[in-house]
A and B are shown apart, each in its own frame.
Chain A
Amino acid sequence: MLKRNAVRNEKERMAPQPTGSMSKTVEERDHVVIRFAGDSGDGMQLTGDRFTNATAILGNDLATLPDFPAEIRAPAGTVHGVSAFQIQFASTDITTPGDHADVLVAMNPAALRADLDKVARGGTIIINEDSFTQRNLEKAGYASDPTTDGTLDGYQIYPVPMTSITVRAVESLGVGKKEAERSKNMFALGLVSWMYGRPVDVTLRWLEKKFGGKPEIYEANVASFNAGFNFGETTELFAHQIHVPAAPVIEGTYRNVAGSQALAWGLIAASVRSGVPLFYASYPITPASDLLHELSKHKNFGVVTIQAEDEIAAANMALGAAFTGHLGVTGTSGPGIDLKAETVGLAVITELPMIVVDVMRAGPSTGMPTKNEQGDLLHAMFGRHGESPIPIVAPSSPADCFSVAMEAARVAIRYRTPIILLSDSFLQNSSEPWLLPDVDALPTIDPMFARANGSEFLPYARDERLARPWAIPGTPGLEHRIGGLEREDRTGDISYEADNHERMTHIRREKVEGIAADIPPLEVDDPTGDAELLVLGWGSTAGTVRAAVQRVRGSGERVATAHLRWLNPMPANTGEIVTRYRQVLIPELNSGQLTMLIRARFLADAKTFSKVQGLPIWADELEDAIVRMLHG
Chain B
Amino acid sequence: MAEENGDVGGIATLTKKDFTSDQEPRWCPGCGDYAILAAVQGFMPELGIEPHNTVFISGIGCSGRFTYYMDTYGFHGIHGRAPAIATGVATANPDLHVWVVTGDGDALSIGGNHLIHALRRNVNIKILMFNNQIYGLTKGQYSPTSEVGKVTKSTPFGSVDHPFNPVALALGAEATFVARTVDNDRKHLTDVLRQATEHPGSAFVEIYQNCNVFNDGAFDLIRDKQQGVHNQIRLVDGEPIVFDEGTRCVRVGENGRLEIATVAESDPSSIVTHDIHGRPSLAFALAHLSHGPTEPTCIGVFHEEDRPTYGEAVRSQLERAVERLGPGDLKALLHGGDTWTVG
Contacts and interface: CB of A to CB of B under 8 A. Distances in A.
Given A252-B343, A253-B341, A299-B317, A482 B85 contact: no
A321 B52 CA distance: 16
Contact of A473 (B73, B77, B331, B339): B73
B340 A56 contact: yes
Given A277-B92, A474-B93, A252 B342 contact: yes
B102 to A, nearest CB: 13
Interface string B76-91: 1110010011111101
A490 to B, nearest CB: 15
B89 to A, nearest CB: 4
Interface stretch (A152-160, A224-232, A310-318, A514-522): A310-318
A481 B21 contact: yes
Contacts of B343: 251-252
B29 interface: no
Contacts of A437: 334
Given A473-B53, A479-B51, A480-B74, A313 B337 contact: no
A152 to B, nearest CB: 36
A57 interface: yes
Contact of B113 (A253, A309, A342, A345): A309
A316 B93 contact: no
A309 B114 CA distance: 7
Most chain-B CB neighbours within 10 Å: which of A253, A322, A342, A478?
A253
Contact of B86 (A250, A314, A320, A484): A320
Interface string B46-81: 000011111101101000000110111111111001
Interface stretch (B256-264, B265-273, B296-304, B318-326): B318-326
Contact of A316 (B88, B92, B321, B339): B88
Given A474-B95, A482-B75, A320 B85 contact: yes
A313 B114 contact: yes
Given A480-B74, A493-B23, A319 B339 contact: no
B328 A279 contact: no
A316 B85 contact: yes
B86 to A, nearest CB: 6
Contacts of A317: 84-85, 87-88, 91
B327 interface: yes
Interface string B90-107: 011101100000000000
Interface string A317-348: 11111111110100000000000001101100
A481 B74 contact: yes
Contacts of B78: 316, 342-343, 345-346, 484
A254 B88 contact: no
Contact of B77 (A202, A298, A316, A479): A316
B314 interface: yes
Most chain-A CB neighbours within 10 Å: which of B53, B54, B87, B343?
B87
A255 B338 contact: yes
Interface string A537-568: 00000000000000000000000000000000
Contacts of B87: 306, 313, 316-317, 320
A300 B327 CA distance: 6
A439 B335 CA distance: 10
A454 interface: no
Q: B interface, how many residues as a size bin? A: 35 or more
A256 interface: yes
Contacts of A439: 330-331, 334
B117 interface: yes
A309 B78 CA distance: 17
A316 B54 CA distance: 19
Nearest to A305: B314
B71 A479 contact: yes
Interface string A468-481: 00000111111111
Given A316-B81, A473-B96, A481-B68, A304 B73 contact: no
A156 B314 CA distance: 57
A320 B92 contact: yes
A320 B75 contact: yes
A480 B54 CA distance: 11
Nearest to A330: B88
Contacts, number: 198
Interface string A227-255: 00000000000000000000001111111
A463 to B, nearest CB: 21
A281 interface: yes
A595 interface: no
B1 interface: no
A301 B337 CA distance: 18
Interface string A248-267: 01111111100000000100
Interface in A447-492: 473-485
A482 B76 contact: yes
Given A316-B84, A474-B96, A346 B77 contact: yes
A326 B92 contact: yes
Most chain-B CB neighbours within 10 Å: which of A255, A269, A318?
A255
A268 B332 CA distance: 12
A251 B95 CA distance: 48
A302 interface: yes
Contacts of A272: 328, 330
B335 A328 contact: no
Contacts of A479: 51-52, 71-74
Contacts of A308: 84, 117
B340 A57 contact: yes
Given A56-B340, A302-B318, A480-B74, 12 more contacts: A53-B338, A59-B340, A279-B91, A279-B92, A309-B84, A320-B57, A473-B89, A474-B53, A480-B73, A481-B23, A484-B77, A494-B68
9 closest A-B pairs by beta carbon, nearest first, are A320-B88, A483-B76, A251-B343, A301-B328, A481-B74, A316-B84, A299-B321, A317-B88, A320-B85
Interface of A: 53, 56-57, 59, 202, 249-256, 265, 268-269, 272, 277, 279, 281, 298-304, 306, 308-310, 312-314, 316-326, 328, 342-343, 345-346, 350, 436-437, 439, 442, 473-485, 493-494
